[in-house]
Amino acid sequence: MIRHRPVAALLSAAVALLAACSAATGTPRTIPRLPVFGAARDVYDGDIGDPFVITQPGSAGHPESYVLFGTDDPPDHLPTATSPDLAAWTHGPDAIPIDPVWADPDPGDRYTWAPAALAVSGHFVLYASVQSTALHRECIAAFTATTALGPYRDALGHPLVCQPAMGGSIDPSVVRDHGLHLVWKNDGNCCGLPVSLWEQDLSTSGLALTGAPHRLLTSDEPWQGGIIENPALLQASQGGWWLFYSGNKFDVAAYATGLAWCPSLTGPCRETSTRPFLAGAGNQYSPGGLDLFTDAGGRRWAAFATWNRPARRGRFYCCRSVQLALVLSS
């Protein structure tokens, strides 16, 4: 059993400050009241970034449980952990033990990032960033498995989405509305190109894109350092959608979570502030990689990662904790 730390209150003060800043700077009235999170809990110190949690419903003799996917924790391509209660977590197997045949081999866990998963028609689909051998860019792959924990196998034999002229495509997330929608980042900062966040409809199988892609947001705030990534969408109770994202380089102190508001899933989205929505506190630094899930009781949660050791010479090297915060209002 992996140890878990005591409660770390990161969010309440940050959210209150951001709400005040929005009012002071004249946020347009068309943007709803900002979402509010409860205090964050540090639940897992497995050195996992970009956490994504799915809920496994209970059945006869089997209570509900949770599966966590993430980035890093070599030698796993995509490390996992499981929990019966969102508090105690046990390290699990590598979700992707075999690379796609079209991807560069990744024995050092350098090219596989930022998973997202969902249940579709009796099986599970997992999306992740992997590097294409032919394109020499990161692309988003789709994998399938019969159980939430995997193992997952490449489902298509080619990338689901890739934008090589824009630096590639990374950091998938998926949202259900009346259908399925994929959101992601074009990896422009790999090559000195602009960076944007995108949305496109998915087929009912989750294994094909349909319609046209929509640009939601482009990096334009100074604190972002030219980088926005890790998009995640939450429906706003007063209409529209909240777009959470990470800004700046993932291993520096300026890394944080931003928030934009989208009138629809196709955007365009508008920043809610010139500052991050969520910044670090105490001994938990640079929150990022935020995504959302619903627990077995129907409550919404935000899951994100923080660095839990101080930076050295301006960069973080170790280690990342998984934080969970209840979404009190959206």
Express each pLDDT in 190-240 by its tens digit.
999 999 999 999 999 999 999 999 999 999 999 999 999 999 999 999 999
Does 6 fall in a domain?
Answer: no
Band of pLDDT at residue 23, cut at 50, 70 and 90:
very low
1 lies in some domain = no
Provide the CATH number for the domain around residue 325.
2.115.10.20
pLDDT of the residue at 61: 63
pLDDT band (50, 70, 90) for residue 151: very high
Through-space distance between the first and last CA atoms of the chain, rounded to whole angstroms: 34
Average pLDDT over residues 124-146: 97
Task: Check pLDDT > 90 for residue 63.
Answer: no
- Type of residue at 135: L
- For residue 128, being part of any structural domain is answered with yes
% the chain with pLDDT above 70: 90
Report pLDDT for 57.
75
pLDDT single digits (tens) 252-269: 999 999 999 999 999 999
pLDDT at 107: 81
Is residue 254 included in any domain, yes or no? Answer: yes
Task: Examine residue 37 and state whether it is found in any structural domain, yes or no.
Answer: yes
Across 256-276, b (16+ Cβ under 10 Å) vs e yields bbbbbbbeebbbebbbbbebb
Q: Please give the residue range of the domain that contains residue 322.
A: 11-329
Residue 73 lies in a domain: yes
Tokens 């349909």 map to which residue?
A: 210
Helix (H) or strand (E) run with residue 59 in it: none
Q: How far apart are CA 5 and CA 10, in angstroms?
A: 14
In this model, does residue 20 exceed pLDDT 50? Answer: no
Instruction: Average the pLDDT over 75-95 and give the result.
Output: 95
- The average confidence (pLDDT) of the chain is 90
User: What per-residue confidence (pLDDT) applies to 64?
Assistant: 82
